[in-house]
Amino acid sequence: MSILLETKNLTAGYKGMVVINKIDICLEKNEIVAIVGPNGSGKTTILRSLVGILDEYGGEIYEGNIFFKGKKINGKKPYELLHLGIVFVPDSGRVFRSMSVFENLEMGGFIIREKKKLMRKIEEVLELFPILKELLNRRAGNLSAGERQILSLGKALVLEPEVLILDEPSAGLSPNYVKILFEKLKEIKNKSGIIVVEQNAKIVLEYADRGYVIRNGEIKLEGKSKELLEKEDIFKLL
Ligand SMILES: Nc1ncnc2c1ncn2[C@@H]1O[C@H](COP(=O)(O)OP(=O)(O)O)[C@@H](O)[C@H]1O
Ligand SMILES: [Mg+2]
C-alpha cells in the first residue's frame, strides 16, 4: 500500500466563505478514486485545491493540509506540482482549439526539455489512443466533443503523471465515448493513481475502486465502489 495523495481536514472556499469543510481523502497507487456529488457541492473546489489553482479563482485554503507521498504540498504552484507528477484535466476538456492535435500533445509535454523524450511520450499516448493517430493534423477546435475529451486526456498523459486528476471527464460524451474513456483510465491506473470527479455516480463507481460522496462541501459517505452502489442512501444524496 502506498499513498500518493492525501488531504487532512482540508477546508477551503472563496472570499471568506467555506465551500469545502474538513475534507479527508486519500489516493493510493493503482487505484481510481471517484468523488461524486450534486452540482455546487464543492467537487471542483477540492480539485482546484489539490492542483494549486484555487487562488486563480479568488479562492483560498483556510485550514488543513495536502500531502503528496507524505510531503506537504499546500501552496505549491501548479508548475511545481506538474514537475512532481500531479496533472489536472479540467472539465469540458480544455484543448488549444486553434492548434492541431499533434501540437496539443506537444503542449501537454511542454515541461519535457528533451525533444526525443517528448516524441517518445507522444508516441506512447498515440499507442494508447489510436483514435488520435488518425486526427493528428486536424485542428483541435474542429474535433467532436468526444474526440476533444480524449485529446485532453492524451495531452495530460504525455507527462506520464503519477497522479491524474480529472474533473467530469464524461460530461457531454456519448455512452460509447464514456466507455472508451473509463476503460482507458483502468489501463492508466496500472502506472498511477487517478482521482475522478463525476456527477453521474452510477457510471463512475462501476470503474472506480473507491468513492467519496460529497454534499454541501462535506463528505457524507465513503467506501469501496461496490459497497457504495449497494447503498440506497447514496442516490438520495445526489
Ligand atoms: N470562483 C468562485 N468564486 C466564488 N464562489 C465560487 C467560485 N467557484 C465556485 N464557487 C462556489 O462554490 C460552491 C462549490 O462549487 P464547485 O466546487 O464548483 O462545485 P461542483 O464542482 O461540485 O459543482 C458553489 O456554491 C459555487 O457557486
Ligand atoms: Mg464542478
Task: Indicate the number of domains in the chain.
Answer: 1
The pTM for the full model equals 0.94
pLDDT tens digit string along 111-127? 999 999 999 999 999 99
Buried b (16+ CB within 10 A) or exposed e, 101-127: bbbbbbebbeebeeeeebeebbeebbe
Whether 55 lines ligand 1, by a CB cut-off of 6 Å, is no
Q: pLDDT at residue 235 above 80?
A: no
pLDDT tens digit string along 54-94? 999 999 999 999 999 999 999 999 999 999 999 999 987 78
C-alpha cell at 53: 489553482
CATH of the domain at 64: 3.40.50.300
CA 51 to chain CA centroid, Å, is 10
Strand partners, 13: 18, 60
- Overall average pLDDT of the 212-235 stretch: 92
pLDDT of residue 1: 64
Atom of ligand 1 nearest to the CA of 13: 12
In order of 113, 127, 143, 194, 202, the CA distances from 110 in angstroms are: 7, 20, 22, 21, 35
> Measured in angstroms, how far is the CA atom of residue 154 from the centroid of ligand 2?
21
> Measured in angstroms, how far is the CA atom of residue 210 from the centroid of ligand 1?
24
Top mutation candidate among 11, 14, 46, 49 for ligand 1, by most atoms within 8 Å of CB: 14
Whether 44 lines ligand 1, by a CB cut-off of 6 Å, is yes
Domain that holds residue 155: 3-237
Please tell me the number of the ligand nearest to residue 41's CA.
1
Q: pLDDT at residue 157 above 70?
A: yes
Strand partners, 165: 88, 195
Whether 19 lines ligand 1, by a CB cut-off of 6 Å, is yes
> Measured in angstroms, how far is the CA atom of residue 1 from the centroid of ligand 1?
33
